[in-house]
Structure 1
Amino acid sequence: MATVNRRLTSILATDCVGFSSLMEKDEEKTLDNLKACRSIIDPYIEEFGGKIFYTAGDSVIAEFVSPVSCVNAAINFQKAIDERNKITEESSIMTWRVGVHMDDVIVEKDNIYGSGVNIAARLEAACTPGQILLSSTVKDQVDNKIEFSVEDAGTKALKNISDSYQTYGISPTGGKVEKTDGKSYAKKESERNYKPKLAVMPFSNASNDEDSGYLVDGIVEDLITEFSMIRELELVSRQSCFDFRDNDMDLKAFCEKFSVDYVVVGSIRSSGKRVRISVELSDAKDDSQIWSQKFDKIIEDIFDVQDEIVRQISGKLLGEIELSSLERAQRKPTENLSSYELLLKGKVLHHKIQKDALRNALTTFDEAIKADETNGQAYAWKACALGQGMSRGFIEGDMAEIWSEAEGCLKKAHELNDNDFEVHRLMAEVNLSGRNFRVAERHASKAYKMVPNDPRVLSVYGEVSLRLGKIDQGLDALKLALEIDPIAQGKTNSDSRTSPVLFGEYLARNKNNCLELVEKLEDIDPKSWLVTAKLCNDEEHDITEEDWYKRGKEKFKDKDWTNEVDAFRLNNDGAKESLIEFANSLF
């Protein structure tokens, strides 16, 4: 195993408050203001002997030999930032938080790792804007050695560290240092963040014909999407719910497996232009019925019926809250019902992940476009289907031409409807693949804002967040995707959902979580194997006799690790080089 370079140091973590929101409002102006703030922060860090390590986005991590120098640097740049904010226009104001901790770290090229870095980052996140938050270790070292008083800030709930972590605050700009109780805060946050979990099960097709089956499944998929837009709910994914039907699983066992609170079931009968929809909401714990209703409508009213179902059920579960998700006017794919029905059929065929079905899906999306050339979703789903066909070998021909066609469909879909989350999800995937991380973040954030419960959105949002240094944000999204959709569409196990979570845990330096997850992988992949081995090496944890390590070493002995690590799409050249060197040292 490789030698690890450790040292005791003082770590400063700082970032801009509300940076993502500022980027959404005006990206160019925000980046200019970030540059202006960094022109203040960086010189003070250097003046007091600090070294800035690799940073992503608005965050800065620096180390200092002296904790006194570290805190003095923070005091000086917080004062200077405050002075800048007093003379700049309101829309250009940026406020920063700082966390400072002293601990043992690992230094590797342009990167710094270790639990000490995590604690500094957690302190920063818990800090009052414009102030500095210290750990007890730092407070003991700087007391009576700096010009500002260090005040008791009480305990804080630091994620994955402690619900009652003692902290101390400094307010360089004169504001009050608030004393808090971490356990009380953690309890309130837990209660505030609770969301009832809903499963919308496949409706039965009371017409018993194939064409009606496409309509039924398509309407249910649309309902799941509508519910997925409600932030106050947590949704089991479409794939998991439809797998229930295909695997003939017991509903009670399904609800227990996914910790479901409430279940929606129903049936649809169609005859010509008339549609009868029966819907029932029940409590998964005791099977008691909460609400039910029958709708006898014509197909042209289907959007209104879907809205009414979502409104009624969400009202029963959440009370009378304002549901912005029901502003369907800007999301309605088409006014042409023939185009809409073809779109639904194409989506159902696409989800089968079969060669013939995929080809039929492409034909069906073309027919939907022919019926209404302004149906943006048909273009978006055709792009998605072309991507599936290329990746799985379902379609033949010049791959460059096919990819160009997919990009053209995506561009057209975006032009037709900037409010379609599928378009932004796909554009995020494309830009992530092309390592255009900032553009990918913009599209992923838009998709997530629209549909925070869709596992595909959560997946790309989480992957992009990880690469921009927003580890907690990325992990939360990826864990939720694993929870609500463990076996992703077209997969036979949960590896494709588990592996990204493991990668996030590696970036968060959570060794035990990585070891737990790597054991769950049915078919270990090179990235999961390598990053877990690397983290264990850094933490001096011997894995040479562990089964997963030995299996991977045999399986990946002929890998070209330069190309393999390049495929990880890291946003950090130093980390990439270190992983390649480590991988080559193992063989």
Structure 2
Amino acid sequence: MDRKLAAILSTDVVGFSRLTALNEEPTLRALYACHDHIEELVRQNGGRIFSSAGDGLLAEFPSAVQAVRCSVDVLRRIRRHFDDLLEEPSLEFRVGINLGDVVVSGDDLLGDGVNIAARLQEMAPPSGICISGSVREHLHGKMTFTLISLGERALKNIPRPVHVYRVEWAQDLSDDDETAPRTPPLIRPGKDQPSIVVMPFDNLSGSSDEYFVDGVVEEITSALSRVRDFFVIARQSAFTFKGQFVDVRDIGRQLGVAYVVEGTVRRGGDRLRISVQLVDAEMRNQLWSERYEGATHEIFEFQDRIAAQVAGAVHPAIRSAEIELSTRRPPSSLRAYDFVMRAYPYLWGHNEESVTQAIPLLERAIAIDPVYGRAHAFLAWCHGQNLGYIWSKDPERELQITLAAIEAASRSIDDDPTALTAVGGAMSHCGDQARATVYLERALILDPNNAWAWARFGWVASYRGEPDHAKERFERAMTLSPADPLAFNMRMGFALALALAGSLAEAVSIARAVVARHPDVKWPYRMMTAWASMAGDEETARWAAGRLLAAEPDFTIQRYLTRPVFRSMPRWAEQMSEGLRKAGLPER
């Protein structure tokens, strides 16, 4: 059985059966005319048609560039054809292109390489082109078209996911203008994927350190690749710039990225110093920077630690930049992704007012894109907070809303650690720590450097009566993202683990620091009041109880005990309620 590598182009007509049923003869006449054009253009671009059935054609090309160029020529020619022949019905073709191994059977080609092209064609919009990641890798510097990343997709009867891109071919550049400058294609992210590249770091020491410098970049790239919030350019593409001085704006345009990670490495005696910065490629603004130092004999452990910390820090820095970008966008052009970005700052407020502002933004995102898993996941997180922090006046209804949002999110978040974490956190607030664990463990398998997942996993451990595990997880979260907007929540979680382990005075001290820095966050006063009372610190307990009632005049112990998380820790619930009672808080 002979095999070969080939670029396969698959095309068909959108809604051809319906058009034929409505107006058969003119439709067939238009199809035959279009197929004549397609066959001519395939030959001109070095390809051959090896299969035709009804309105569909399959063609092979010796290169990915020729296949993409031919597909654009086809769509442009057909568009002009129907402009000239207004009496004919207008047919809209769609194209899929894959570069892969195929089986040669006489004049025919078979196998997954062909099947993937056909599946991509089915995904393409009318007058659109979808290509696989294998095709995209061969287009750098050779074509002018913008590529929109659609992320990894599971294709029918294809055993592995395929990264898919849409070709934006309808540009101002005329296909007859051979003098126009040829710039590399711009790879732009999909709705939930800002794009980033880790550039080769500058080695400020001797050549003997080159392997370590390259290793750091590889580890950071690998760590960031596990963060599904953004699309990360492969190391091989980034290293084509090694040894060159290139402006970050040019890097952004050539690699199609919005953000660039740069760095330097210097060895001095037995010490290593690595400086890293994150830059907005278009504006050239530095969004974040950090310096790391360690001993040379810990070189590989040091490398892993840097990779984890950079991934943890870059994530919220990019998120902040995307939030700012969405707020500058005119309301008329907002997408589902933009509404989620606008909701982001309110997701971490940890007060009723913030959640109230986030929910309608997330609902608008879902109205635009009903299957946007992350929007459903964050909606579950918001309603879960209403339930867990007893902000809702109707906890039973809030529980049902939260579970419904979790169910809607669960259908499409298998590979999204942030959404899995949001759902895990919401499920934890619902009191089901076993199911919460499933979601959070999945999130951490996909992204071991996800600080929020580690923090929520810490809360789950506390609610399961495992304070030692909880402390370890909160420490991991705080190490990964010390400047995280949820850092106060991590500290309160660590304080709860201390309280559960009997270190009440330490827990109260942490809670006091949190409420001093975050006066708008009210729920820590509840815990601080109970812990201080349990520790015999009546003065602090009375002070915290007064602050709590000023912030929540309708607070009662009975209502507090309706929190679903207390179901798995009844003894602790009794101790907390007794502490609140001693501090003078109302029973009901």
Normalising TM by the smaller chain, what interval?
Answer: 0.3 to 0.5
TM-score w.r.t. the length of structure 1 is 0.38
Q: Which has the higher contact order (CA 8 A, sep 6+)?
A: 1
